[in-house]
Amino acid sequence: MINMDLLSVIRRWHFRQKISIREIKRRTGLSRNTIRKYLRSDAIEPSFKVPIRPSKLDPYAEKLTAWLRVESKKSRKQRRTAKQLHADLVELGYDGSYNRVAAFARRWRTELQYEQQTSGRGTFVPLVFQPGEAFQFDWSEDYAVLDGKPTKLQVAHTKLAHSRAFIVRAYLLQTHEMLFDALTQAFRVLGGVPQRGIFDNMRTAVDK
């Protein structure tokens, strides 16, 4: 199965930016034959036709891009979530959906990740995983109204690196016990335990 994100990046590099196959091989670690197969592939994402029409987000795209650039330089816990970015855009007059803002942010972060991984400025993580090879885990913060009061929650994200299937569970605290429970419940629902896990440098997972 072709990784559609990687396929898109390789084609953009070669056909739009005129980057050689040799340079793409150096950036991705893929073989020349694999790269040529990607370039010859007729696969397109999405596979259905989407009409090109103006988006309510278009007038705010430059502002949102600038915000995302600033947020990317902050620590993970200090960054604004997609919900917060959407709320800030609404204050500026944006009346579109949250989903469109979230999709824009995901695309921007994916491109940033590829640029960092292939330019040597970021830690390299393989872009293609085999089924069952690895899972990724991280925490985020969110709020919910409990007993009529806004309450900060620690949200555990467990995602399969190949299929991108994920499980999200919320806790009041971010502790070793909560980490173990989140992983136990995620593996129970997903139906198995991958060969390895990818963690950020979290105090709940890494002592030193």
Task: Dump the DSSP string for 25-73.
Answer: HHHH---HHHHHHHHH----SSSS-------TTGGGHHHHHHHHHHHTT
Largest CA distance in the chain: 60
Q: Which of 44, 43, 36, 42 is nearest to 20 (CA)?
A: 36
Please give the backbone phi and psi of residue 177, each rounded to the nearest 5 degrees, phi first.
Answer: -60, -40
Number of H helices and number of E strands within the chain? 7, 4
Q: Are strands 196-199 and 134-146 parallel, antiparallel or unpaired?
A: parallel
What is the full per-residue pLDDT of the chain (208 aa) written as tens digits?
Answer: 445 567 777 887 888 788 888 888 877 777 888 888 878 865 444 444 444 567 788 888 889 988 998 888 887 778 889 899 999 999 999 998 998 898 888 888 877 776 665 555 555 555 678 899 999 998 888 888 888 888 999 999 999 988 889 999 999 998 889 999 999 999 999 999 999 998 876 666 666 6
How far is it, in rounded angstroms, from Cα 3 to Cα 135? 17
| pLDDT confidence of residue 118 | 58
How far is it, in rounded angstroms, from Cα 140 to Cα 82? 12
pTM for this entry: 0.41
